[in-house]
């Protein structure tokens, strides 16, 4: 057991030095945050969350009755699922399509 733990520690140290070696040590520190280093991460976050953003905007449109026909459709579906006692399976199905 001790030998396996020793090997895993050596493996962790190897990868840490290989991929993060420039940040390990007494005299070095991570690069200072700047607009050039932060903006690509923000852009990736926006692109990755676009399906969630669409779901939130659809929900907003529905609860504000911006398009009454669309809201009526969702209301009819909700009432039918509620009457048939299928709200939870209907919600799971809806969320699986996002």
Q: What does the pLDDT profile of the chain (98 residues) look like in tens digits?
A: 445 556 777 877 777 766 665 555 555 666 677 888 888 888 999 899 988 888 899 899 999 999 999 999 999 988 998 999 888 988 888 778 76
pLDDT, residue 97, reads 78
Decide if 81 contacts 90 (C-beta within 8 A). yes
Could you give the angle at which helices 68-83 and 87-96 cross, rounded to 10 degrees?
Answer: 130
pLDDT, residue 40, reads 87
Count of all residues that appear for the chain in the document: 98
Cβ neighbours of 57 (radius 10 Å): 10
Where helices occur in the chain by DSSP H, the ranges are: 2-20, 35-48, 50-63, 68-83, 87-96
Decide if 88 contacts 81 (C-beta within 8 A). no
Written as six digits, the tokens of 56 are 């939130």
């Amino acid at each position: 057991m001790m030998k396996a733990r020793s090997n895993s520690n050596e493996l962790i140290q190897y990868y840490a030095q290989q991929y993060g070696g420039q940040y390990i040590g007494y005299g070095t520190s991570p690069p200072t945050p700047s607009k050039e280093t932060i903006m690509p991460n923000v852009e990736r976050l926006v692109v990755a969350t676009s399906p969630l953003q669409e779901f939130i905007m659809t929900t907003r449109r529905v609860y504000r009755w911006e398009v009454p026909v669309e809201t009526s459709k969702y209301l009819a579906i909700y009432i039918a699922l509620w009457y048939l006692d299928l709200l939870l399976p209907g919600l799971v199905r809806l969320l699986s399509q996002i």
